[in-house]
Structure 1
Amino acid sequence: MTVSEIFAVMTCGLASVAGTMLASYALLGVKLEYLLPAAFMAAPSGLIIAKLFYPETEKVTEEAEIEISNDTESSNVIDAASKGAANGLQIALIVGATLVAFVAIIYMINGLIGYVSGWFGFETSLQQMLGYVIAPFAFAIGIPWDEAIMAGSLIGEKLVLTEFIAFINFTEGIGQFSEKSAMIITFALCGFANFASMATMANTLSTIDSKRQKLYMKLSMKSLLGGALASMLSASIAGMFFV
C-alpha cells in the first residue's frame, strides 16, 4: 500500500464508529436519525480529508500484482487456530494497555492543569481549554456563537477522552442547545478520533506490519486531525440541509 492509501485507511478508521457503538449512543439518548447518517457519511468524508492531506503520488499496486507471503502458512487447522488465538490475544493486550495508559496520562495532565489553575482561583481542564480553541471551528460548521464554546468543549472531550464520555455530557446538557446545534454536535462527535484510539490503531497496525512501524507512528497524529476534521465536515454538510 502507498502512504496515501495507508493514511486514508487510518483517517477513515478514526472518522467512523463501530455499529455496536451506535446502539450505545442511542441508549444514552442521542437521536438515531442523526447517528445513522453520521456513520454513513464518515467514510466518504474521511476519504476526502485524507486525500487533501496526502494526495496519491506513488504508483498504485494493482490487485493482480500483489504477492501474498506464505511465511506464516499453518500446517493444519489446529496450528492455524493456535496462531490466530495468539495473535488476537497480543492485539487485545496492546489495545487494553494503550487505552489504560493514554486515559491515565490525560487524567494526570488534567490533574496538573487543575492544580495550577487552582492557584489563580479557578479550575479548568485540557478539554475545557480545547473548547475555547475549537469554538471558532464549531461556529464555522453552523453552531451559533453563544453555543459554540459549549460545543467546542464537547468536541474537546471527544478528542482528549472518548466520544462516549462526550456523548454522556452532551445528553445531560442537551437542553442548552437548539435542535440544529444538537444535530451538528451529534455529527461532530460521532467518530473514534481521540488520542487513545489513535494510539491503539497505530500500535495495532505496527503489530500486524512491524516493518512500517515508524510510518504508522508518523501518520498517527495527522490521522487524528484528519478524523476529527472529517466528522466536522459531515456535520457542516448536515447543517446545510437542516430544515
Structure 2
Amino acid sequence: MKYLIGVIGIFLILGTAWLFSKDRKKIKFRPIFTMLVLQFVLGYILLNTGVGNYLVSGIADGFGQLLMYASEGVNFVFGDVINPKGNSFFLAVLMPIVFISALIGILQYIKVLPFIIKYLGLGLSKINGMGKLESYNAVASVILGQSEVFISVKKQLDLLSEKRLYTLCASAMSTVSMSIVGSYMMLLKPEYVVTALVLNLFGGFIIVSLLNPYEVSEEEDMLEVQNEEKQTFFEMLGEYIMDGFRVAITVGAMLIGFVALIAMINAIFEGVFGISFQNVLGYAFSPLAFLVGIPWSEAIDAGSIMATKLVSNEFVAMTNLKMGNLQFSDRSMAILSIFLVSFANFSSIGIISGAIKSLNERQGNVAAKLGLKLLFGATLVSFLSAAVAGLLF
C-alpha cells in the first residue's frame, strides 16, 4: 500500500509542476525521466547498500572531525561551554559554521573548488538537457551558498532572460550550502542529509524542467565564471571567516525571532480557538505528508513540521523535530529529515533577491517578482525528494 501511495504522490507532484508550466510544448521528458531514475538509483545506494553506508559514514566522520576542530576555536573564545547534551545551540551548532566557511575559502583560494564545480556542472548539463550556466550554478549553490553563488556569475546576470534567471534562483533555493551541512548533521542523521543533497540536486532540475522549460542556443550557453578579486591569502581567510560569522549570527537571529513568534502565535490560537497555530498548519499539510509516505496516524504532526519549515526556516523545523516531543517511526523520520534539508522558505526570497539586487538592480527586481513562484517550485522539490525517500526507505 505504501508503494501505491508513494507512486501516486510522485505523479501528483510532477503533475502539479506540469499543470503550472509556462510552456508545456517545450518540456523535454527524456532528461526528466533520466533524472528521476538517477534519484531512485542514487537514493537507494545511499540509504540501502553497504557502499552507500560506507560513503555516508565517511562523509559524516569527516564533518565530525571538522566540527571537533571547530569546537576547539569556540571553546578557546567562550570557555568550555559545549557539553555533550549540546544545550548551547548557538555555540555547538552555529559557531562551527565559521570554521567550515574558512575551509571553503581556502579550497576556493587554491582553485580546488572552482575546478570541481565547473566540471561537475558540465557533466550535469549532459544529463539534464539544460545550459552549462544552469548546471554550474546548481553545483556551485551547494558549495558556495544561495547568495554567494551569484557573485561568481555576476557578469552574465544582465544577459539572462527571466526564465534562465528563475532556474538559477530555484537551484539556489532548492539546495543548501556546504558551510551549514555540518550543523544539519548535528540535528539530523548524516545519511538523511547526504541523501537529501543528492535528491534535491536532481529534483531541482526535474521541477524546473516542468515548470519553466526553455531552449538555450549555443550563443547564449556561455559559461564565464567570475573569479574573485585577487587577494592575499590572509585577506581571503579573514573575509571568509567573517562571512561565516555573519551567517551564524543571521541564522541565530532568525531562530530567536521565529521561535518567539511561533510561541506567541501558538498561545494566541490556543487561547482563542483552543488549538495551537502549528496544529492548524499540521491539519493543512497532513494530506501532503500522507502522499509522500507518512502514515496517516503521524501525518498531522509531520505536516506541522513541514509547514514550520515553510513559514519560518529549516533550523526551526529541525529543532522541533529533534526535541522529541513528537513521536515518529524511523521511516517518517527519514522522510521528514530529507524534506527539511533545503532553503525552501519565505525568508529565502528576500535573501536571494537581495543578493542579486546588490549585483544587478534590474535583475534583483525580477527575482523579487518571481519570489512566490520560486518558493512554490522549491517546495515541490522538497516534496519530490521526500516522496522518493518514502519509496526507498
The answer to whether structure 1 residue 166 and structure 2 residue 279 are counterparts is no
In structure 2, the residue matched to 1:35 is 193
Deviation at 1:123, TM superposition (A): 4.6
The answer to whether structure 1 residue 119 and structure 2 residue 272 are counterparts is yes
Deviations 1:196-228 (A, max 9, x none): 122111111122110223311111111112112
Deviations 1:92-142 (A, max 9, x none): 99xx8899689858965874674365234x2522x4432222111111111
What is the percentage of aligned positions where both structures have the same residue?
30
Cα separation, partners in 2 of 1:129 and 1:174, compared to 1, 3 Å: closer
Q: Distance in 2 between matches of 1:98 and 1:196?
A: 11
Q: Distance in 2 between matches of 1:173 and 1:154?
A: 12
Confirm or deny: 8 A CA contact 2:283 2:300 kept in the other structure: yes
**TM-score calculated relative to the size of structure 1:** 0.76
1:223 to 361, 369, 374: 374
**TM-score calculated relative to the size of structure 2:** 0.49
In structure 1, the residue matched to 2:177 is 18
Give the partner amino acid of 2:174: A
2:300 to 149, 154, 157: 149
Cα separation, partners in 2 of 1:2 and 1:153, compared to 1, 3 Å: same
Give the partner amino acid of 1:40: V
SS in 1 for 2:374: helix
Cα separation, partners in 2 of 1:210 and 1:230, compared to 1, 3 Å: same
Cα separation, partners in 2 of 1:166 and 1:55, compared to 1, 3 Å: same
1:5 to 141, 161, 164: 164
Deviations 1:10-42 (A, max 9, x none): 1221111122322112223x2111110111221
Confirm or deny: 8 A CA contact 2:355 2:364 kept in the other structure: no
Structure 1, unaligned stretches of length 5 or more? 69-73
Deviations 1:161-213 (A, max 9, x none): 21112111112228711111111111111111111122111111122110223
Cα separation, partners in 2 of 1:111 and 1:168, compared to 1, 3 Å: closer
Confirm or deny: 8 A CA contact 1:34 1:183 kept in the other structure: yes
Q: Distance in 2 between matches of 1:215 and 1:205?
A: 9
Structure 2, unaligned stretches of length 5 or more? 1-159
- Which stretch of structure 1 is more off in the superposition, 104-113 or 182-191? 104-113
- Once superposed, what is the RMSD of the aligned Cα atoms? 3.7
Confirm or deny: 8 A CA contact 1:194 1:224 kept in the other structure: yes
Cα separation, partners in 2 of 1:102 and 1:33, compared to 1, 3 Å: closer
In structure 2, the residue matched to 1:50 is 208
2:348 to 188, 197, 214: 197
SS in 2 for 1:46: helix
Cα separation, partners in 2 of 1:110 and 1:177, compared to 1, 3 Å: closer
